[in-house]
A and B are shown apart, each in its own frame.
Chain A
Amino acid sequence: MSKVVIPVGPQHPALKEPVNFRVIADGEKIVQLELDLSYNHRGIEKAAESRDFIRVLPLLERVCGICSHSHATAFAKGIEELMQVTIPPRAQYIRTIVAELERMHSHLLWLGVAAHEVGFNTLFMWTWRDREAVQDMLEEISGNRVHYNMNEIGGVRRDISAGEVASILKRLPVLEERIAEYVKMAAGQKTMLMRFCGVGKLSRAEILKYGAVGPTARASGVDYDTRKDDPYLVYDQIPWKVVTENDGDVYGRTKVRIGELSESLGMVRYCLENLPEGQIRTTAPKAAPSGEILSRYEAPRGELVHFIRTNGTDKAERLDIRTPTLANWTSVAAALVGRNLADIPVIVAAIDPCLSCTSRMTIVDQDKNEQRTLPVASLRPGNTGRKEGGLFS
């Protein structure tokens, strides 16, 4: 076959969210790859700047359905630091428990998706079933399966009762067993190894060059984890270790995530067993003093950064969210060229991309062949954007 252009996306069975790869393939080999991101810009950053802190938290949870707690915690943590409020230890523990449960359900979800991308649907069904156990725990703690809404400025909204602690502790061993099963599977499942080993390989130097984060970086031997390097909540007080592997391929990323599953489980257990007594929130002031802060948080996919600038009111003047997927995209493009067509889904899935969270707006005019960003004024409330130079000109 001669060279053909194969469009993968914006609608494609391998993708859960819209993104477009224009793959130019020579038979089964990828010769060139063009990425087209950002089909789903939702203007959340701007919307966050027009709400007070209390109403920003539920909004930020909607940045991502998987790491909803991550975004809310990263923001709350930053604002609290600006206000110089220290939240009570019990609140810190509860935030950590929810964060690690979230990491577990995110990694279980990923494992299923990765298996599905290589056509191994049995593992997909199994992990998603086990993920339900984690979802149930989160629902018991917060009342919700997806948007837990546990955070508020100055602490958490709901307490974990002694009964809930006991009930979750009782169910953890089952999950532990299942995770052990996945460790065994990752090491011994022949077709999965064939599709994961040596695929999407990135060396330590490449990871550092492209600035990849999270499990993608840790799978190439980069010992970088915000929880260790810039500890927040109670990560410097509880026992855990950073999981790294040296494979640098999809297999390594699988091993890192499965390793983190058991680490997270250990952290949840420790936090539940050592949950300190006391208040779950302190009264925080309504407004934050003027200032700027960079709040870093280790989301399931990697380092999440919230840049917040305040101006002495109860609203943020500027919020900028750098999601881990954005940091990882360039490494994907580098890992794909020269590979086999069949490897696209699994290499892309290996960074666990969260596409809509990464969407930022740039206008591309194909006729004039020019690109521009939007002026802030065109996004102000009341501007329909239909005027010359607006959104749909």
Chain B
Amino acid sequence: MNDILYLVLYVLVFPGFLFLLGYALFLEFIDRRITARMQHRVGPPWYQPLADFIKLLGKEVIDPAGIDRKIFDAAPLIALAAVMTAFIYVPVIGGSPLAFEGDLVLALYLLAVPTIMLFLLGWLSRNVYAAMGGVRAVTQLFIYEVPFFLALLTPALMAGSWSVSVIAEWQQQHLWFALLQPIGFIVALIGLQAKLERPPFDIPEAETEIVAGPWTELTGRRLAVMHLAEDVALVTGCGLVVALFLGGPLLPWDVGPAWLFGIAGFFIFVAKTLCILLILSAIKAATGRIRIDQLNDVGWKYIASAAILQVAVVFVMMSAGVIS
């Protein structure tokens, strides 16, 4: 009975959905604040993301002529549900109690859902900017997904498990994968930036070219939910990279009772995700937007090659017995 209660609380309250939504808005605030300071602006107050969300919820929902309303309503919700589900498998206060062998693969697939939904929205909008943006979103997906998957799977290869929590625990006994596989770590960060469609990879929603891409016809609560899904994807993505490359929320040694271990783990999780966010925000502030054909070149020539190189290095390291 207690186990079930714990699971329900874990999924719904902490560190599950309730915490996740709050933390997603908080990370958006931090991201906007960091970017603003780098651009010599003041930036928004801490409650701005929440205020934006509530304001958008209250706004009129406009249906473009001739769209399929059901899919238009459902797509943002599906995107949000997918990324929230993926977060359950991210270790926050120690390993996830719902972890199973293969949850890494599930989480990666769930993280791809918002992009598919954006494509769908763009295609169904009956708007030329949205359609262009949707096509760009999927083109971009095909470019970054291969190196991103490869980079995230190399820790799994070395740790010998397909579970995010087990990989995090493996690093507790050995070394962080960021140190063992620096190339993979960098590729994962670039892939995450591309997945979240942040500069220099904000090609699908390039404001000065195609207005807002797939987002053009989203209004009111659809826009609010889609925006929230993007924030949650930011948390889940950062959390995954932290778990796979920076040892997750685990301390390298055991600390007293389990509750203390959990609290310490939580603060470590927050600190590490903020570090990842700082890197992502710095990239965002320091770059312009590249073209889709340039991304195609860079993505396949360099980023994918780097990821494959990392896989090869991992195989060599494993067969040479560097890490047992």
Contact = CB atoms under 8 A, between A and B. Distances in A.
A49 B294 CA distance: 52
Contacts of A129: 40
Contacts, number: 83
Nearest to B202: A119
A125 B39 contact: yes
A294 interface: no
A341 interface: yes
Nearest to A119: B289
Interface in B195-224: 199-200, 202-203, 206-211
B293 A195 contact: no
B40 A342 contact: no
B263 interface: no
Nearest to B207: A13
Interface string A13-42: 110000000000001100000000000000
A5 interface: yes
- Which of A115, A119, A340 is the most central at the interface, judged by chain B CB atoms within 10 Å of its CB? A119
A278 B39 CA distance: 45
Interface size range of chain A in the complex: 20 to 34
B40 A115 contact: no
Contacts of A1: 131, 135
B132 A6 contact: yes
A116 interface: yes
A345 B40 contact: no
Contacts of B38: 122
A247 interface: no
A13 B209 CA distance: 8
A165 interface: no
A245 interface: no
B290 A191 contact: yes
Contacts of B271: none
A115 B288 contact: yes
B209 A345 contact: yes
Nearest to A5: B128
Nearest to B39: A125
B173 interface: no
B199 A119 contact: yes
Contacts of B131: 1, 4
B199 A13 contact: no
A13 B291 CA distance: 18
Nearest to B285: A122
Nearest to B297: A194
Nearest to B132: A6
Nearest to A130: B40
Contact of B286 (A5, A122, A341): A122
10 contacts: A1-B135, A7-B128, A14-B207, A14-B209, A116-B208, A120-B287, A120-B289, A340-B293, A342-B209, A345-B209
In order of increasing CB-CB distance, the 8 nearest A-B pairs are A119-B289, A120-B288, A14-B208, A125-B39, A191-B288, A118-B288, A345-B208, A191-B287
Given A5-B128, A27-B135, A191-B290, 7 more contacts: A1-B131, A6-B129, A120-B287, A120-B289, A121-B39, A194-B290, A195-B288
